[in-house]
Structure 1
Amino acid sequence: MKRAVEVLGSQTNLAKKLGCTPQNVQRMCSTGHVPGKHVLRIEAATGVSRSLLRPDLYPESPPTMTQTIPSTATQHSSPRVAVNPSSTGGEPV
C-alpha cells in the first residue's frame, strides 16, 4: 500500500481513484489489509502488482518456460535417428 500511495502522491489521491474515503485508504495502509474489491483498481492506477497487495487472492504465477530457459540456450541435434527403424518396417532415411 505504501508504494501505491507513493505512486499517486497521497492517500487522498488514491482514495479518489478508488472511489472511497481517505480514511478508508488510511486504514488499509495502517493494517496492510486491502479489500479484494480494491486490488485490481489499485493495480491499474499504480502498477503495484496484485500479488503484492493480496498474495492470498493472487499468488505469484510460476515462471513460464521462456523465463526459465535462458535465451542463450541452444538446441542440440542428435545424429541418432529419432525412430527405431524396426518399428517402421524399414531402414532409416
Structure 2
Amino acid sequence: MDTPTKLLEIEPLQMDCYDDKPVVKHGSMSDFILERALKAEPFAGNQSKFARAIGTSQQNISNWLRARAKLPGEYVLRAEEVTGISRHVWRPDLYPLAEAK
C-alpha cells in the first residue's frame, strides 16, 4: 500500500478555542473531515481508493458520508497515516489535543 509522501492539502478548519481546547465551528466530525479528505489528493473523490488505504470497504465510506458519521476509532490511526491529518482532528473525542502535549 502506497503512503503519500506529503500531507494532504485541504483548506484549514475554522476553529475556536475554549479553555485551551479547539472546537470546530459548523458541522460534525471536525467539520466533516472525511468529506474534505476525500476531495484532496491522492484520493480526488475516489471512495474506493480511500477505503483500500485505510482497510475498509467503499460501502462503509459511503455509509459514513451519507450519515455524516464519525470515522470509527479503529480506522483513525490508519487515516492519519495515509492523509497526514492528525488523529486529534479526525476524532478529538478519542484523541484529545491535551494528549499531544
Q: Same fold per TM (> 0.5)?
A: yes
Alignment-derived partner of residue 18 in structure 1: 54
User: Which structure features the higher share of helix residues?
Assistant: 1
CA separation of 1:39 and 1:6: change in aligned 2, threshold 3 A: same
CA separation of 1:57 and 1:14: change in aligned 2, threshold 3 A: same
| Aligned length in residues | 64
**Larger Cα-atom Rg:** 1
**Inter-partner Cα distance in structure 2 for 1:41 and 1:63:** 18
Question: One-letter code of the match for 2:35?
Answer: K
RMSD: 2.0
User: Which structure features the higher share of strand residues?
Assistant: 2
Q: Which moved more, 1:50-59 or 1:25-34?
A: 25-34
Contact 1:4 1:42 in 2 (8 A): no
Structure with higher RCO (Cα < 8 A, 6+ apart): 2
2:74 to 17, 32, 37: 37
**Inter-partner Cα distance in structure 2 for 1:22 and 1:32:** 15
Which portions of structure 1, spanning 4 or more consecutive aligned residues, are displaced by more than 4 angstroms? none
TM-superposed CA distance for 1:53, in Å, is 1.1
Q: Percent identity over the alignment?
A: 36
TM-superposed CA distance for 1:63, in Å, is 8.3
**Inter-partner Cα distance in structure 2 for 1:58 and 1:13:** 25
Structure 1: where are the runs of 5+ without partners? 65-93
